[in-house]
Amino acid sequence: MVREGYGRLRQKNGSTSRGTMSSDRNGSSERITTLVLRAQDGDVDSFERLVDTYQAPLLRLAFRMLGNRADAEDVAQESLMNAWVKLDLLETPQAFPTWLYRQAVNKCRDILRSPRRDSTVPIDEAPEGNPVWTDTRASSDPQRAAENSSSMDALSAMLQKLPAEQRACWILREQTELSYGEISQTLAIPEATVRGRLARARKTLANEMKEWQ
């Protein structure tokens, strides 16, 4: 979905070349900053590399926020397309990750507030064995793989019971692995508020997990 959009962007910008996908999936901050600067100069290939780095984390973030794969795909694509269109407005290239995650979280909030978003929206299970959605390592042990899949499905259901603001903090910390300061920047809230929401989310999830076990 996102790839097709950037295919059109390459045509629009007269570029037909494709760069080699970096093997560093998480990427160093220096590499990200360099790619952002090049993309701001109109290098579509550099932005493609940013897509390679952040598409899967965005999908996981949105899926855990919304519990729906179709909505998560829309959020990831719209966030990346919006980042491309507004990239020139980003004054601090080093802030690209938190800037991008902020857009995704805000889009998730909009969907959660939407009139169509009610109890009838199904909570999807993550596709088994697909790390784009689950971020878990494949196991050669079928029983362990099944247990992991079951645990992730249970976690998805539990996360949906959290208030959206607590859910966002927990996902950004525990799954996206942002620092407290980065979460504070992403959500535009004080760091103390981040810590408070995380503490409440962790307590609720711990209690829910005891009942599930």
Q: Where are the alpha helices (DSSP H) in the chain?
A: 2-12, 29-40, 44-66, 69-85, 96-113, 131-134, 142-161, 164-170, 180-187, 191-212
Of 187, 148, 143, 142, give the one whose Cα is nearest residue 169: 187
pLDDT digits (tens, 9 = 90+) for 49-101: 999 999 999 999 999 999 999 999 999 999 999 999 999 999 999 999 999 99
| pLDDT band at 10; cut points 50, 70, 90 | very low
Instruction: Give me the CATH topology for the region 1-124.
Output: Rna Polymerase Sigma Factor; Chain: A (1.10.1740)
Of 183, 164, 179, 169, the C-alpha closest to 108 is 164
CB burial of 30-44 (b: ≥16 within 10 Å; e: otherwise) equals eebbebbebbbeebb
Query: Cα–Cα distance between 97 and 180 in angstroms, integer?
Result: 14
The alpha carbon of 28 is separated from its chain's Cα centroid by a whole number of angstroms, namely 17
Other CB atoms within 10 A of residue 7 CB: 12
pLDDT above 90 for 18: no
| Mean pLDDT computed over every residue of the chain | 79
Contact 111, 66 (CB under 8 A): yes
Query: Which residues, at least 6 apart from 26, have a Cβ–Cβ distance to it below 8 Å?
Result: 53
Residue type at 31?
A: R
**Residue-wise pLDDT tens digits, 117-129:** 554 445 555 555 4
What is the rounded (10 degree) CA torsion for 212, 121, 60, 182? Answer: -90
Band the pLDDT of 16: cuts 50, 70, 90. Answer: very low
Amino acid at 66: L
Q: Choose the weakest-confidence range: 13-27, 81-95, 139-153, 168-182.
A: 13-27
Count of beta carbons in the 10 Å neighbourhood of residue 184: 20
Q: What is the CA radius of gyration of the chain?
A: 18
In this prediction, residue 137 carries a pLDDT of 43
Q: Identify the CA nearest to 93 among candidates 51, 31, 163, 171.
A: 31
pTM score over 0.85: no
Instruction: Please count the residues of the chain.
Output: 213
Q: What percentage of the chain carries pLDDT values higher than 90? A: 59
